[in-house]
Amino acid sequence: MNLMQTQMTAPAAHIDTIAYAIGQSAIGKILAARSPIGVCAILIGSDTDALEQDLAERFPGKVLVEDEPALRDDLAAIARFIETPGIGLDLALDMRHGTPFQQRVWDVLRTIPCGATISYTALARRLGEPNGARAVATACAANAIALGIPCHRVVRADGTLSGYRWGIERKRALLDREAAI
């Protein structure tokens, strides 16, 4: 039993269990996590321990269980999407772990087509919050479902790349792959 499995001591019947697994992709390690509702996290990084810690911090009080067989198909779909973004990423998502505003931002992000980008300001306007670019950026940073909620498609008003939770180079690589389709 690892640290992630021992986080909670309450009976599992009374709390959510989140299964997770870590795989490899063209842009680094990917952690996929699934609640009973759907994929609740896709995290990207270089270090397994850091990914597990990030998951634990995003889901305090949840029982986290490493379960590679249960997540094998999700990891394969995510890796395929990174390699060939035009195929899309059709996974059931669990987006309950955000504020109502964050969920609104994430819903709009899911409508941005592969290969397209939107500015933080334009996204804020689309939400009816013309002065909400910073709030939009904060909602993007809070997104735990990389790729499933494509916050990598949000850029500065001048089209340049800015902050990405998993690194600007990964954002650039994802956008370059999408632009090539």
User: Which one of the listed residues 40, 114, 140, 151 is annotated catalytic?
Assistant: 151
Question: Do residues 42 and 146 touch, judged by C-beta distance below 8 A?
Answer: yes
Three-class HEC string of 105-166: HHHHHCCCCCCCCEEHHHHHHHCCCCCCHHHHHHHHHHCCECCCCCHHHEECCCCCCCCCCC
140 among known catalytic residues? no
- Give which of 99, 91, 102 is closest to 147, Cα–Cα: 91
Q: Please list the active-site residues.
A: 151
